[in-house]
Amino acid sequence: MNPTFEELGAYTQSVLQAVGMNETDAVNTAEVLATTDAMGVFTHGTKLLKGYVRKLQGGGYRHDVSPVIEREGPGWAVVDGQSALGQVGSQFCIDLAMQKAATVGVAYVGLRNTGHIGAAGYYTQKAARQGFIAMVTGNDIPSVAAPGSKGPVLGSNPIAYGVPVPGSDPINLDIATAAVAGGKVYAAHQRGESIPENWLIDSEGKPTTDGSLYPANASLAPMAGHKGYGFGLWCEILSGALPGGHMRWDIGSWMFDPTDRPSCHNAGFIVMDTSVIADTEDYSRRMNKLIEEIHAVETADGVERVILPGEREWAKVACSRESGIDLPADVRASLRETVKLVEREPVWLSP
């Protein structure tokens, strides 16, 4: 039985409130996780709930705090996430960035000392739907090799951008700067699937297809070699170095560290208000012209048309809204483990 978007969100909210989170933060976090599942990005949706609950129960992530603005100016701010869930801090920061950009055109907000932020693309599409071009970056404990290294150098630091398209869904890209997100390695290994040879680098600096080696004895390969390494470093600078957050090995593992230990993740949020910077009608005309031209290019055999970042996800959201969210077996298994932690089992999760 597939849950509806509303059912999955309500269940997630109830679980978070059961471990002490206030209603507003629980609703905001549930919205991120349920939307991510609806988009088909199952590695970063409610599959994460079990780990979040354990950290909240253990005290490494806190349910009794709110993000605090440490310092700010008209177009920037640095926010201490207080070791709350990363979704709580990120929702606060993307909203703050939009408020500032609406006044001065462009704004940066750095979020330090937060939890794992989940899908960075949720926050960019949220801003884009309100007329803002947005970029979100994050950092993490090292798990990704650099060209020539034998071990991990940077985290699988995410970078996402969202661009408003008047009258339509936004262009939205969300990628890890590794060849693949670590969650996809875990998921493939759990399902017994083979690992592509360009996903992992072993302890000797050589490619490997053995998913069981990760993360103890293998690193993720950087996306596109030196290019991915360069973008990963960019994320580290915007997310950690600039706002004064933890970097590299000073960041904890939210999955493997003791549950009473904060992970000290960080993120950067940059937004641009298109209505301040551009003429509204001209922007709309240019964006639609750009999209129409891309959609009209000649395609290879068997390809209907070239699509834009986000189009596949918005199609999945529409399907999820109509037919429910078809959660994969590994997500359902994780949610059943969550049930054991909070003793709340929805009807749609029954075998």
The string of pLDDT tens digits covering residues 74-117 is: 999 999 999 999 999 999 999 999 999 999 999 999 999 999 99
d(CA 67, CA 192): 40
pLDDT score for 186:
81
301 in a structural domain: no
102 and 249 housed in the same domain: yes
pLDDT score for 341:
84
295 in a structural domain: no
How do residues 245-282 score in pLDDT, each as one tens digit? 999 999 999 888 899 999 999 999 999 999 999 999 99
pLDDT score for 208:
87
Residue 168 half-sphere exposure toward CB, CA atoms < 13 A = 17
107 in a structural domain: yes
pTM of the model: 0.91
77 and 46 housed in the same domain: no
For 61-99, b where at least 16 C-beta lie within 10 A, e where not — what string?
A: bbbeeebeeeeeeebbbbbbbbbbbbbbbbbbbbbbbbe
d(CA 257, CA 85): 16
38 and 105 housed in the same domain: no
139 and 270 housed in the same domain: yes
80 and 157 housed in the same domain: yes
143 and 239 housed in the same domain: yes
pLDDT score for 351:
63
Number of domains in the chain: 3
pLDDT score for 31:
95
213 in a structural domain: yes
166 in a structural domain: yes
322-to-13, 38, 349 alpha-carbon distances in Å: 21, 11, 19
Query: Which residue range forms the structural domain that includes residue 48?
Result: 1-58+310-351
Bigger pLDDT: 192 vs 88:
88
241 and 132 housed in the same domain: yes
258 and 128 housed in the same domain: yes
111 and 255 housed in the same domain: yes
Statement: residue 183 has pLDDT above 90: no
> For the ranges 116-130, 198-212, 237-251, which has the lowest average pLDDT?
198-212
How do residues 217-228 score in pLDDT, each as one tens digit? 889 999 988 999
27 in a structural domain: yes
73 and 130 housed in the same domain: yes
245 and 144 housed in the same domain: yes
